[in-house]
Amino acid sequence: MNIRVYYEDTDCGNVVYYANYLKYMERSRTEFLREKGIDLSNYQKNNILFAVIEANIKYRAPARYNDLLDVQSVCTEITSATVGFDTLIKNQSGILLVKGSVRLACMSPDGRARRIPEEIRKALSNSLTAI
């Protein structure tokens, strides 16, 4: 997906504030799931939640105000209760700015781990890849 860097995304140096990359990764991950037919809000209504339990980011170069970013997420791993994603963020020139990974845990509203629903596992198992 493409994301435009707005002034509100930047710090006093006119570069993207480091924590905003997590937001970009979240948006990309959500759209990836949506493309696979997985709408997490429907699962939330049934008390099935997903929470980030691990995040790693490698910053290689800054994005700046008004850049158009290409944010690409893929599912890299799925277990009975967790799912992993990798994300690449490039600028409009194709330069890699950020590489990140996150792991989500499936849980109930009380915070206990639970098994990922079979239809989610099946949809994601068919698209496991690495970037």
Alpha-carbon distance of 3 to 5, in angstroms, equals 6
Is 110 known to be catalytic? no
Name residue, tokens 């699962």: 43
pLDDT tens for 70-100 read 999 999 999 999 999 999 999 999 999 999 9
Q: What is the pLDDT of residue 72?
A: 97
pLDDT of 127 over the 90 cut: no
Q: What is the pLDDT of residue 126?
A: 83
Among residues 9, 11, 39, 70, which one is catalytic? 11
pLDDT of 59 over the 80 cut: yes
Alpha-carbon distance of 24 to 104, in angstroms, equals 16
Q: What is the pTM of this model?
A: 0.92
CATH no., domain 2-125: 3.10.129.10
pLDDT band at 128 (very low <50, low <70, confident <90, very high): confident
pLDDT band at 131 (very low <50, low <70, confident <90, very high): confident
Q: What is the pLDDT of residue 37?
A: 94
